[in-house]
Structure 1
Amino acid sequence: MIDTIQQTFNEFSERNPHMVQAALRAVEKGKIPKLAGTLSVDKVAETLKKPAVSLENNFPVAGDLEAIVRLIGRPPLLVQGDAVVQEPLEDFPADIGARIRATEKWLPSVGRVEFINHDMRWGGTGWVVRRISDAEAIVVTNRHVAKIVARRAENGAGLFMRSPAGILMGMTVDFNEEAGARPQDSRDVRVTKIKYLADDIAADVALLMVTADGGALRMPAAINLLERDARDKELIALVGYPAYDSRNDAAAMSRYFRDMYDVKRFAPGYIIKPAVNAVLSHDATSLGGNSGSVLLSLEEDGAIGLHFAGLYGRYNSAVSAPTLEKLLNGRIVVPGSSAGDETNANEAVSAASSFSDRTGYNPGFLEKGTVAWPRLPEDLQAELATPSDTQPANPHELRYTHFGVLLSAVKKLPVLTAVNIDGKSSVRIKRGKDKWSFDGRIPKDQQMGDPAYIDASIDRGHMVRREDPNWSSESNEAESQQANNDTFHFTNCAPQHSSLNQGKALWQGLENYILDSSRTHGFRACVFSAPVYRDDDPKLDAGVKVPLEFWKVVVTLNETGQSLHATAYLLSQGQLIRDLLEKRNRTEAIEGFVLGAYRTFQISISDLAEATGFDFNGLEAYDPLRKAGTQEGVEPGQPILVPVYTPEELVL
């Protein structure tokens, strides 16, 4: 057993010579008792042989050999007034004090990452890595810190999540939070956007866009990123916010941190292993809360890495500065990969030439009557984008496989879609990983891409549902797959507010019912869908307005198969219905009108036409709700609508 202890101790000594030397000096000076007087041989063996435990920046428990080594010579110095409160540092060069003072200019740029609408008050450290202006900057922290209140989007950005109570969570960064600082001394900036949130196999990094509101606070300077990897045994310092960590011995932490946590500290140390596949190791003291701390070089002016984790009693880990630089330039780096595995995160664009065989929406699809595109209100018609493959019959239609889209070049969103559904020839295609693309037939700046969906409260909603155009009269699987892929263009989606979720369940039930019925009965359908755009729609930071209502018109053949049958549906809180009542001066109805939860209504096509300004080319004549007598108690002038609670209640 003694041989095992000696072998393990020798290996540790080779990895951490500075720590062992400091411990031996402390024993010689009587600052701590000799190991033989405090630890049994069995205890030492148990300590040295136990497996490493992955804990977030945990210093070892007092009484274990490695903990004794780490607790000597690596004090986490306090920061006050943007300066380090220095103590004797026997394990470092004689000029360590001057080296520390030279780095103090970076201390105001390190902040504590705090949470909004979360049970945890704060969760880590962040620091300015790019300064955009006096009021804006990019702050870098760890993925696992940001993921406490956010999730990763498909484009690599982060989306703030909602609390169990449905309240949107968020983050701020306070660049003060020093020992003795008063609440009024806080230097808070707001996280307005998570520019990048790494996935679980990539370097543990998140890039936060922050804004200083009100103009009183000037954004701190960006810490210089060194262009090189760390050197072996390089002198460094970790700057961050260590927190009380119950995984450690309370007495040891109290003695080492003097019962003062959650405040900015400066912990000197050494690099113990240079970067290998984007990860480097150091021995500076840290606790939970140091996640996202800056690793400064004390030999050159700047940051050498981003601290993210540690192995119990062995080393702490950091992402290298060159990796951070690549991420800031839009390249994603996966630890363990070679430089050739870097990928650009640019959004895809489908070439205009790739749509040469698309025929779009077919107005004669039902054979017993033409179902023409509805005519748009003048204001929407004037906004339409014109594709490069325009055709005289409908010069603004973006033609896809079995469906078409009319897109507003001003709103950068669809104003109307039309799809042909053939239930008899429907092909079921399993949904894979969504990949959204721009349409190369119109300018990219006329299409709203991912920025419209960064906010966690906004969903990306297909206007033409993915499954609807997936059919082929000749069992051509390639044609069906092409239709499926065509639905994943930004031209075919509109932002939907998360508050639609309850009503959206019935809306999707309606869509499922239409498709399933067409499959079961083998009938065909023409379906028009559109958002209802209003001047007072909520506006996102990206500049896009979020429509709060959507309508759908479904046209099939009647039971005899000799005439058309048309119905209309509305997903709404009731805004459109309220507008109709106001337009018709129905004051007695308006007095009792209350906007409620989102619901799905079946509405008469004539009322939908009046409310939206669309002309449905006479489809009103084929609507079963065309007569006011369809609903008992409906007076003349009142909107004709049926609240839908189950798909079986639909009048198809």
Structure 2
Amino acid sequence: MSNKQLDEFQKFNMNLLELQQQQALKRYILRSDERERMARELKSKNPLEVDTPERVALRKSIINPRDGLAIERIIGREDLFPISYLEAGLKAATSVCRIEIRDRIGRVLGYGTGFLVSPSLLLTNNHVLENYDTAQSSVAQFNYEIDLDLNERPMKSFRLTPERFFITDQKLDFTLVAIEEVSDDGTKVSNFGFLPLISQTGKALVGEYVSIIQHPSGAHKAVAIRENQILDVFDNYIHYTTDTMPGSSGSPVFNDEWIVISLHHAGVPDPKNPAEFIANEGIRISSILQFVTEQCSNLNDAQKLLINFIEQGCEVPEYTNEEMVVEDLSASWYEGSTGYDARFLGDEHELPLPTFMSDLEDDIAQLQDGSNVLNYTNFSIVMSKSRRLAYYTVVNIDGNQLIDIERNDNWYFDSRIKIEYQCGPELYKNNPLDRGHLVRRRDPNWGESAEKANKDTFHFTNCAPQHSNLNQKSWLDLENYILHNAKNSNLKVTVFTGPVFKVDDITYRGIQIPAEFWKIAVIVKEDGSLSATAYLQTQKNLTEDLEFAYGEYKTYQVPISKIEVMTGLDFGAIRDHDPINQLESSIGRVIKKSGDIKFE
């Protein structure tokens, strides 16, 4: 961008802001007589008597009953707060950031304020991030503050990711955009929490006082606290007297419960002196959420999943996830668990565990004893630290000894590795994600230890998030079919399974959700030789780089070498027994029925 283009950008941005200020002034003047009447009434009454009964009722409904002085504060007779009020304000401030508006070559064009409204989404003004390209070039800077010793805190910068989610509207002057989950220095954006949005109206009444957390003129974080009175409430806007400066655009405006009531966006200029302001204007959160709701039909399911945290932001299905029971197992439970047997198919068919590409080795979660393989009953798992999911699982299945065991829905963390390397119940609550077993529950349930094997499969290490719409039958009961075809070696099968980790997997509640899963099944054929077949279950078209969207899953039989490229795993000599390893097509074979599987 040349200097001339930079000047044009700044002029356009200034013209847009001036337009919004003039529109705010029109709204202010239009209601002047009504506002003066309400001001006179407030002198003799209080906000609970001046505002509408419906809004008063809603306002009372969100007051914490433990705050006995809340009503006294609203009617203006009391300014006492519990000391926790300050703590709550500090917590709310954590989610507020400075937005550094940049062009494509990284030059700084200006500053604004924004705040997290979910673990993945940030809210600010349209005139701060007016389009996709500006959002893609700009950064959100958290912790840009001065500490108690008047020193700068370490600032943390995160890129915005509009390719994942981007909604904007010039009239309501807001932009809702996705943010990267982990910064370049490894900091998680989830460390900064988020400010939940409430769609119901009546979160603050005319005459109440509000606070605003902001980055005035792009400076360190500041707060204008409580000496700021709501002057008027419009259909989509709120007017209030709050100290703000350029750079405060996109700041959250709070009521006394630190609930966000509006998005600050413009000052109301004094018609007698345009350099001065007689009020400020914010966009009501209820109006923004209504707009987002109306856009839901244009969003794919992955994007709807991203806004699942925003209350009533989208009409999503009612999920009937039962309350998950999480229990602990003692260290003695794992004693004697030998896990996967590499010679299960015969001494002449030893199948060692896959090895990793060198750049993945540091990401393998280590056990307390320094090893990296979690051994359970008849199966083993190797975990990824960064993804908190299994790199792969491998199970020995003995079809002649399978035992039906009653399902147990208690789940367990594995105490042998750090809990931060495991996805727990918080990922699966109140959403359409199923806890998908990687090693199927019934597969290791054979022999004298079948009961223990069944329980072992309910470890979070053996769990992967799968959308409830995933058609489990699209795997065509592969193990069952392959087991049926394992005519030699006493119906024995070895099955490797895992997710495909991609950098563009969507992030939800701090976890990247795999869009694809793979499986490799190894059997002994009638002639005594091995057959190793690989499968990929995906909802993506393998020939195109399509944006992830939950939809119809397809199953492909693919060369093992393709799984190796996609996962960074090396299966060694196993690939030599793949009947389609020389297949030139990168897509593989679409599997619609069991007869489509090629064993020879």
Give the TM-score normalised by structure 2.
0.48
Give the TM-score normalised by structure 1.
0.45
